[in-house]
Every structure is written in structure tokens, then in C-alpha cells.
């Protein structure tokens, strides 16, 4: 059993050594291609965000806040997240943007996520243009606050906690990650190709092949010379 494992390891090493140039070229080519796409072809995507807190309505501020009230407003945040992503809010925001972006694209670029165990709702928008990402967030938040008061007047008090900031760096593409993934994909692919080529190739080309496949000793080798 130990002999078979040793032989397999020798085969593995032999193939990797024999096809090392193929492995290096394919791996570097995949990594280089990913780098070119990430740095020069794929347009960067920017993200802007705003946070909103849902609290007790102003009419009830004089009463003491109880634990049940906090739990209720935490649950309300989930409702407000649905409102923020609703067609009503998206249509209102789209109208305010005056055709700068269509409603389907707006829906895909905007996300509303309630923060776990808090009364905070985070709204994010992504765009190829950082200025447009900020503009989208500002308009969507305005539409959300307005529509929430109209369709859910008995809900909590909505306050903007953090306004959208101009994004300095893109969130996509993740250049280093893309290149790392391409490196490992290229490495695995080249190793797989090497094994496939090796087992499809039954020709004998070197003295190592004679000893390996025919189990015969190599008595002598004709040296290469100039013709």
C-alpha cells in the first residue's frame, strides 16, 4: 500500500515537473487577464448610503419608553424596509430624478436593510457615477419619508441619522480578490490539463520515459550535436 502511494506521488511530481511551463503560462495568463479586466475594462461601481432611525412618535414622547415599545419599533423597521423598496417609493424617486435612471434600474441599484436588533434602517444605492449614487440616495430617502407618512401615519417617528456621503472608493470590482481567484482557477485548470495531456500521450520521448513506462534500464544516451 505504501509503495502505491509513493508511486502516485512520484507520478504527480513527474507530471508537474514535465508540464511546469504550461502550468506557469496558464496560471499567469488567467491572473493577468483578471487584472486587465478588473483595472481597465470593468467600470467601477460606487455605493452611497443613509441610515434612518425609527422611534416613538412625537405625540407620545412624554410617556416613558418601555421594553415592549423598543421591540415594537424594531419590528416596525422591517415594515419600513419594505416601504422603502416598494414600487410607490421607487416611482416617486424616479419622477424626482427626472429620467436620469429608469425605474427597473433604480430598483436593482437600491437596497433597504434593517439592522439586526436596532431601530435603524440602512438604505444603499450603487451606481457607476459616485455623484449619481449620492443623488439617488437623497431622492429615495426623501420619497421614503414622504410616502411613509402618507401610507403609514400611525407608525413611528422617522429621523435621518446619517446622510449620504460622497464615496471616495468604489465597492466593485474587488481587484485583488478577482486576481487571487483567477490565480487559483488558472492553477487548478493548468494542473488538470497537464494530467489530461499526460495520460493521453503514450509516446516515449526521453530516457526517463523509457525507465518509467518500459521498466528497462537506460544503457546509454546519444548526445545532441549540431548538424
| Model pLDDT for residues 38-64, shown as the tens digit of each residue | 999 999 999 999 999 987 765 555 555
* Mean pLDDT score of the chain: 85
The whole-number pLDDT of residue 190 equals: 96
Kindly report, residue by residue over 176-208, the tens digit of the pLDDT. Answer: 999 999 999 999 999 999 988 877 876 666 666
Q: What's the pLDDT at 14? A: 82
Long-range Cβ contact pairs of 170-175 (< 8 A, separation 24 or more):
170/44, 170/45, 170/46, 170/47, 171/45, 171/46, 171/47, 171/126, 172/42, 172/44, 172/45, 172/126, 173/37, 173/38, 173/42, 173/44, 173/45, 174/38, 175/35, 175/38, 175/39
- This prediction has a pTM of 0.74
Q: Say yes or no to pLDDT of 160 above 80.
A: yes
Summarised one tens digit per residue, pLDDT across range 95-131 is: 999 888 999 999 999 999 999 888 899 999 999 999 9
Pure H helices in 19-155: 20-36, 67-84, 87-96, 103-109, 130-151
Helix axes 2-18, 20-36, angle to 10 degrees: 60
Domain annotation for the chain: domains and CATH numbers:
2-41+175-214 (no CATH), 46-162 (3.30.70.1130)
- How is 131-174 classified by DSSP, letter by letter? HHHHHHHHHHHHHHHHHHHHH-TTS-EEEEEE-----SS--B--
Q: What residue has cell string 419600513?
A: 80
Q: How confident is the model at residue 168 (pLDDT cuts 50, 70, 90)?
A: very high
Residue 214 pLDDT > 80: no
Amino acid at each position: 500500500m505504501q509503495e502505491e502511494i509513493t508511486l502516485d506521488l512520484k507520478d504527480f511530481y513527474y507530471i508537474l515537473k514535465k508540464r511546469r511551463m504550461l502550468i506557469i503560462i496558464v496560471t499567469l495568463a488567467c491572473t493577468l487577464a483578471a487584472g486587465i479586466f478588473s483595472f481597465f475594462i470593468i467600470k467601477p461601481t460606487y455605493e452611497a448610503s443613509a441610515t434612518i432611525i425609527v422611534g416613538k412618535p412625537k405625540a407620545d414622547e412624554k410617556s416613558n419608553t418601555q421594553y415592549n415599545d423598543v421591540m415594537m419599533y424594531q419590528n416596525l423597521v422591517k415594515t419600513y424596509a419594505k416601504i422603502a423598496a416598494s414600487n410607490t417609493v421607487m416611482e416617486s424617486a424616479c419622477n424626482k430624478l427626472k429620467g436620469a435612471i429608469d425605474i427597473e434600474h433604480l430598483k436593482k441599484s437600491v437596497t433597504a436593510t434593517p439592522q439586526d436588533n436596532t431601530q435603524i434602517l440602512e438604505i444603499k444605492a450603487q451606481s457607476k457615477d459616485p455623484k449619481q449614487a449620492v443623488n439617488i440616495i437623497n431622492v429615495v430617502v426623501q420619497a421614503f419619508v414622504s410616502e411613509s407618512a402618507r401610507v403609514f401615519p400611525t407608525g413611528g417617528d422617522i429621523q435621518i441619522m446619517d446622510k449620504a456621503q460622497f464615496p471616495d472608493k468604489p465597492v466593485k470590482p474587488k481587484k485583488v480578490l478577482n486576481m487571487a481567484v483567477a490565480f487559483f482557477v488558472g492553477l487548478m485548470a493548468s494542473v488538470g490539463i497537464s494530467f489530461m495531456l499526460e495520460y493521453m500521450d503514450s509516446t516515449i520521448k526521453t530516457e526517463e520515459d523509457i525507465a518509467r513506462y518500459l521498466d528497462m534500464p537506460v544503457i546509454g544516451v546519444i548526445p545532441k550535436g549540431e548538424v
